[in-house]
Structures are given as C-alpha cells and as structure tokens.
Amino acid sequence: MHNADSLFRLDGRIALVAGAASGIGRASALGLASAGAITVCTDIDAAGAESVAEQIRVQEDHAESFALDIRDEAAVEAAVAKILEKHGRIDVLVSTPGVNVRKPLLSYTPAEFDKVAGLNLKGTFLVARAVARVMSEQKSGSIILMSSIRSITTEPGQGIYAATKAGLVQLARTFAAELGPAGVRVNCIAPGAVETPLTQPIKSRPEWYNAYAQKNALGRWARADEMAGPVVFLASAASSYVTGAVLFVDGGWTAIDGRFQPPL
C-alpha cells in the first residue's frame, strides 16, 4: 500500500528521457527529477540535454546527460549499456523525439516519408526495444511513448505524421502485450496542441494558432510543462495497473466537435 504522496514518488528510480533538450522531453525530464528520479537526459542536441541536466542538479542533484540520436541503432544500444554499467537498471523510459513535414500526400517525397517515419516510428522503436530488453530481464519498468491527437484525428498536410503517431499506439500496445508477463508496463501519451519548438510554425500564424486554441474545450494551447504530470503518473506506482493505454492530454480536443457553438 502507498499513501497519496508516495504513490507518485520515483525516488532512486533510473529514468531515461530521449529528446530531453526541449519541449515535452524537457518538461518530462524536469518532472521526473522533481519526483525523485535519477534522470538521464539525452538528445541529439547534447548541449541542450546538458543544460536541462544542469537545471535539475541545481534543485535535485541527480541528473546526467549525453548525446543520443535514437535513429542510430548502435548509439542506442551503447547508451543503454552505458546507463546499465553505471546504474545497473533502467526503471523508466520516456521517448519524445518527433518531426513533421507538413504537405499534401500527393506531393510527399520518399525522402520526406523516411525522415518522418524514420524518427517518429523507427527511432522510437529502437530506443523502446533496447530499454524493453533491460526491463524484461529485471522484471519491472515503465515505458512511455509520445503519440498525439493525430493518432485518431488528422487534417490536410498531416498524413505521414498522423500515420506514425497511430503506429506508435499499436507499437506500445504490442510491447505491453509482450512485456506484461515480465511486469513491464508500456503506455502512450497523446498530447493536443502544445507550445513546443515543433509547433512554432503554427504560433507564427495567428489565425492558425487561434483556430487550434478554440478547437479544444479549454480554449487554449497547452504549456509543455503540463505534460509532466501525466508522465510522472505513468512512470509511478500510481499507474501500477495501467498498460497498453493511451492517455489523451489534449484539453478535450478529441472529446468535442469544436467547430460551432450551438445556441442553447
């Protein structure tokens, strides 16, 4: 049994965050660290990852960082081995890297398809697989993949991105099915409109930005730090019976129609 405070604590847990330099990855790293996790911040932007680790160390004194491109299988395997050598285990994985090329499907090039699918789907698979092998051996752990509202709802220009985010849901569900007997949980978070570097092109166009804000029930975009709570929840004992799930953190975007306010 846990009390309300300890349910969400991650003291002494080893948490690997991929994509920790900015956006949701940064928020995830800070949130996990504030809950007590020893947080390993990784990103293709090594300086950005170290900056986040430094910010954590000011308050919590338990963070480290190194460069990691999750598209590189050898680098992923080496990173996991490095963490194992130092800490002997990995308790939490949060994988956040993502890229989008917004354009109609009819003009999408194979290179653009490979860029989006290669990072969003294949890269996420590579890091999840490497960590899942460790967790399967230690008979515990929580893997959190970053999907999107685009896994179930799309719009013109979002085709390949949406396909990868839907693919991540099925990837997580299959990992959950295969790793459940070993006590490993695997879930997705599906954010809505979140203010991150990835969505900066939308913010620079007020009519687009405002349309997204009005599409959800709360009438605003999310801050990246509003993803930290859901991440900590899925990483902690508070979600001990949650696996194979998709947690929509979208301000009600997928719950409502949102196109018209009927007279009542």
The model's pLDDT over 172-208, given as tens digits with 9 standing for 90+, comes to: 999 999 999 999 999 999 999 999 877 778 888 999 8
Residue type, 139: K
Q: Which long-range contacts (CB under 8 A, 24 or more apart) does 169-173 make?
A: 169/246, 171/121, 171/124, 171/125, 171/128, 171/145, 172/143, 172/145, 172/147, 172/244, 172/246, 173/244
Q: Is 108 a catalytic residue?
A: no
pLDDT above 70 covers what percent of the chain?
A: 98
At 64-93, the pLDDT tens digits run: 999 999 999 999 999 999 999 999 999 999
Specify the 3-state DSSP secondary structure of 188. strand
Q: Calculate mean pLDDT across residues 4-18.
A: 93
Q: DSSP letter string over 53-69? A: HHHHHHHTS-EEEEE--
Of 39, 31, 22, whose CA–CA distance to 90 is shortest?
39
Q: pLDDT-derived band of residue 1, with 50, 70 and 90 as boundaries?
A: low
Can you read off the two tokens belonging to residue 113? 């398809």
Q: Do residues 175 and 144 lie in contact, with contact meaning Cβ atoms separated by under 8 Å?
A: no
Residue 226: CB atoms within 10 A of its CB come to: 17
**Among 134, 135, 17, 120, which Cα is nearest to 71's?**
120
Q: How far apart are CA 109 and CA 101, in angstroms?
A: 10
Res 2 pLDDT > 70 = no
Q: Has residue 221 got a pLDDT over 90?
A: yes
For 132-182, what is each residue's pLDDT tens digit?
A: 999 999 999 999 999 999 999 999 999 999 999 999 999 999 999 999 999
pLDDT (tens digit per residue) in 21-62: 999 999 999 999 999 999 999 999 999 999 999 999 998 778
pLDDT tops 70 at residue 222? yes
- Contact assessment for residue 71 and residue 49, using Cβ atoms and an 8 Å cutoff: no
Would you state the pLDDT for residue 201? 80
**Which is catalytic among the residues 161, 209, 212, 241?**
161
pLDDT recorded at residue 118 = 98
On whether the CB atoms of residues 66 and 79 are closer than 8 A, the answer is yes
Cβ atoms of 45 and 68 closer than 8 Å? no
Domain map (residue ranges) of the chain: 4-245
**Res 223 pLDDT > 90:** yes
* pTM for the predicted model, two decimal places: 0.95
The CATH superfamily label for domain 4-245 reads NAD(P)-binding Rossmann-like Domain (3.40.50.720)
Question: Looking at beta carbons, which pairs linking 198-204 to residues 24 or more positions away fall under 8 Å?
Answer: 198/23, 198/98, 198/99, 198/100, 201/102
Pair of tokens at residue 60: 């919590």
Residues 108-129 pLDDT 10s: 999 999 999 999 999 999 999 9
Reported confidence tier of residue 95, pLDDT bands at 50, 70, 90: very high
